Protein backbone atom coordinates (compact mmCIF):
# COMPACT_ATOMS: atom_id res chain seq x y z
CA UNK A 1 0.00 0.00 0.00
CA UNK A 2 2.87 2.34 0.85
CA UNK A 3 4.35 2.03 -2.64
CA UNK A 4 0.95 2.26 -4.25
CA UNK A 5 0.39 5.59 -2.55
CA UNK A 6 3.82 6.79 -3.60
CA UNK A 7 3.14 5.84 -7.19
CA UNK A 8 -0.24 7.47 -7.26
CA UNK A 9 0.14 10.43 -9.58
CA UNK A 10 -2.83 12.16 -8.03
CA UNK A 11 -1.20 12.58 -4.64
CA UNK A 12 1.89 14.72 -4.59
CA UNK A 13 4.70 14.38 -2.05
CA UNK A 14 3.54 17.31 0.10
CA UNK A 15 0.04 15.89 0.43
CA UNK A 16 1.51 12.45 1.08
CA UNK A 17 3.58 13.76 4.00
CA UNK A 18 0.55 15.58 5.37
CA UNK A 19 -1.44 12.37 5.25
CA UNK A 20 1.35 10.61 7.15
CA UNK A 21 0.51 12.91 10.05
CA UNK A 22 3.44 15.30 9.77
CA UNK A 23 2.89 18.94 10.61
CA UNK A 24 3.60 21.74 8.17
CA UNK A 25 6.85 22.53 10.01
CA UNK A 26 7.99 18.92 9.89
CA UNK A 27 7.15 18.70 6.21
CA UNK A 28 9.12 21.85 5.59
CA UNK A 29 12.10 20.44 7.51
CA UNK A 30 12.01 17.22 5.50
CA UNK A 31 11.44 18.70 2.10
CA UNK A 32 13.19 22.04 2.16
CA UNK A 33 16.38 21.57 4.19
CA UNK A 34 19.65 19.73 3.95
CA UNK A 35 17.92 16.46 4.93
CA UNK A 36 15.92 16.91 1.81
CA UNK A 37 13.80 14.39 0.05
CA UNK A 38 14.01 16.76 -2.87
CA UNK A 39 12.50 20.15 -3.53
CA UNK A 40 9.01 21.05 -2.38
CA UNK A 41 6.44 20.21 -4.97
CA UNK A 42 3.12 21.86 -4.35
CA UNK A 43 2.83 25.51 -5.19
CA UNK A 44 -0.87 25.45 -4.31
CA UNK A 45 -0.25 25.00 -0.57
CA UNK A 46 0.71 28.14 1.33
CA UNK A 47 4.47 28.13 1.98
CA UNK A 48 5.69 28.16 5.60
CA UNK A 49 6.22 31.91 5.63
CA UNK A 50 7.80 33.28 8.83
CA UNK A 51 5.17 34.57 11.25
CA UNK A 52 5.47 36.67 14.39
CA UNK A 53 8.31 38.59 12.78
CA UNK A 54 9.54 41.39 15.04
CA UNK A 55 13.24 42.18 15.24
CA UNK A 56 15.48 45.21 15.14
CA UNK A 57 18.71 45.55 13.19
CA UNK A 58 21.46 47.89 14.35
CA UNK A 59 22.68 49.31 11.05
CA UNK A 60 25.95 50.38 12.67
CA UNK A 61 26.77 46.78 13.62
CA UNK A 62 29.36 45.02 11.43
CA UNK A 63 27.03 42.09 10.68
CA UNK A 64 24.58 44.50 9.06
CA UNK A 65 27.20 46.32 6.98
CA UNK A 66 25.75 45.00 3.67
CA UNK A 67 22.75 47.26 4.29
CA UNK A 68 24.94 50.36 4.10
CA UNK A 69 25.04 50.02 0.30
CA UNK A 70 22.13 50.31 -2.10
CA UNK A 71 21.42 46.80 -3.30
CA UNK A 72 22.93 45.19 -0.23
CA UNK A 73 20.93 42.69 1.77
CA UNK A 74 21.08 40.43 4.79
CA UNK A 75 18.99 37.46 5.89
CA UNK A 76 17.78 37.20 9.48
CA UNK A 77 15.12 34.91 10.91
CA UNK A 78 14.20 33.76 7.39
CA UNK A 79 13.55 37.36 6.35
CA UNK A 80 15.50 39.06 3.55
CA UNK A 81 16.13 42.73 4.30
CA UNK A 82 17.43 44.80 1.38
CA UNK A 83 18.45 48.40 0.88
CA UNK A 84 16.50 49.40 -2.22
CA UNK A 85 17.51 53.07 -2.24
CA UNK A 86 19.28 55.47 0.12
CA UNK A 87 17.60 55.08 3.51
CA UNK A 88 14.86 52.83 2.11
CA UNK A 89 14.59 49.19 3.10
CA UNK A 90 12.33 46.34 2.06
CA UNK A 91 11.90 43.11 4.03
CA UNK A 92 10.36 39.98 2.51
CA UNK A 93 10.15 36.34 3.46
CA UNK A 94 13.13 34.20 2.49
CA UNK A 95 10.68 31.38 1.77
CA UNK A 96 9.75 31.32 -1.89
CA UNK A 97 6.06 31.23 -2.70
CA UNK A 98 6.69 28.95 -5.67
CA UNK A 99 7.58 25.72 -3.88
CA UNK A 100 8.48 26.82 -0.37
CA UNK A 101 12.26 26.75 -0.67
CA UNK A 102 14.34 29.26 1.33
CA UNK A 103 15.92 30.63 -1.83
CA UNK A 104 14.99 34.31 -1.91
CA UNK A 105 17.75 36.92 -2.15
CA UNK A 106 17.92 40.45 -3.50
CA UNK A 107 19.41 41.02 -6.94
CA UNK A 108 20.74 44.56 -6.93
CA UNK A 109 21.46 44.72 -10.65
CA UNK A 110 17.78 44.11 -11.44
CA UNK A 111 16.43 45.73 -8.25
CA UNK A 112 14.21 42.73 -7.56
CA UNK A 113 13.94 39.74 -5.28
CA UNK A 114 14.81 36.44 -6.91
CA UNK A 115 14.71 32.78 -5.99
CA UNK A 116 17.80 30.73 -6.73
CA UNK A 117 15.86 27.47 -7.01
CA UNK A 118 13.69 27.93 -10.12
CA UNK A 119 14.16 31.60 -10.90
CA UNK A 120 11.00 33.18 -9.47
CA UNK A 121 11.21 36.97 -9.59
CA UNK A 122 9.45 39.59 -7.47
CA UNK A 123 9.40 43.37 -7.44
CA UNK A 124 10.05 45.51 -4.36
CA UNK A 125 6.38 45.23 -3.41
CA UNK A 126 6.67 41.44 -3.36
CA UNK A 127 4.58 41.02 -6.49
CA UNK A 128 5.63 38.22 -8.81
CA UNK A 129 6.95 39.32 -12.18
CA UNK A 130 7.32 35.94 -13.86
CA UNK A 131 5.26 32.73 -13.84
CA UNK A 132 7.12 31.12 -10.90
CA UNK A 133 6.53 34.28 -8.88
CA UNK A 134 2.78 34.32 -9.43
CA UNK A 135 1.99 33.74 -5.73
CA UNK A 136 3.86 36.91 -4.63
CA UNK A 137 6.01 37.24 -1.50
CA UNK A 138 5.06 38.25 2.03
CA UNK A 139 6.40 41.75 2.68
CA UNK A 140 7.10 42.94 6.22
CA UNK A 141 7.03 46.49 7.57
CA UNK A 142 10.28 48.35 8.11
CA UNK A 143 10.74 51.39 10.32
CA UNK A 144 14.05 53.23 10.65
CA UNK A 145 14.79 55.20 13.82
CA UNK A 146 18.33 56.53 13.83
CA UNK A 147 20.46 53.48 13.09
CA UNK A 148 17.85 51.00 14.29
CA UNK A 149 15.79 49.28 11.63
CA UNK A 150 12.77 47.47 13.02
CA UNK A 151 11.13 44.74 10.95
CA UNK A 152 7.61 43.66 11.89
CA UNK A 153 4.53 41.99 10.44
Q: Which stretches of the chain bind ligand FES, using CB under 6 A?
A: 96, 98-99, 101, 103, 115, 117-120, 132
Min separation Cβ 100 and ligand FES, Å: 7
Min separation Cβ 31 and ligand FES, Å: 11
Min separation Cβ 117 and ligand FES, Å: 4
d(Cα 112, Cα 136) in Å, to the nearest integer?
Answer: 12
3-class DSSP state of 32? helix
Burial of 25 (0-12, 13-18, 19+ CB in 10 A): exposed
Count CB neighbours of 133 within 10 A: 24
Q: Which is nearer to ligand FES, 96 or 151 (CB)?
A: 96
d(Cα 21, Cα 23) in Å, to the nearest integer?
Answer: 7
Min separation Cβ 118 and ligand FES, Å: 3
Closest by CA to 151, choosing from 78, 63, 47, 71, is 78
Min separation Cβ 115 and ligand FES, Å: 3
Q: Do the Cβ atoms of 15 and 42 come closer than 8 Å?
A: yes
Closest by CA to 78, choosing from 137, 31, 128, is 137
Amino acid sequence: MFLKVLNDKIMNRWQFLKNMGLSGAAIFALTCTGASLGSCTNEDDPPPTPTGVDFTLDLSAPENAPLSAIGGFIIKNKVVVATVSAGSYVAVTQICSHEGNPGITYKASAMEFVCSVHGARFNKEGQGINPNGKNNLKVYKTNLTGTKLRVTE
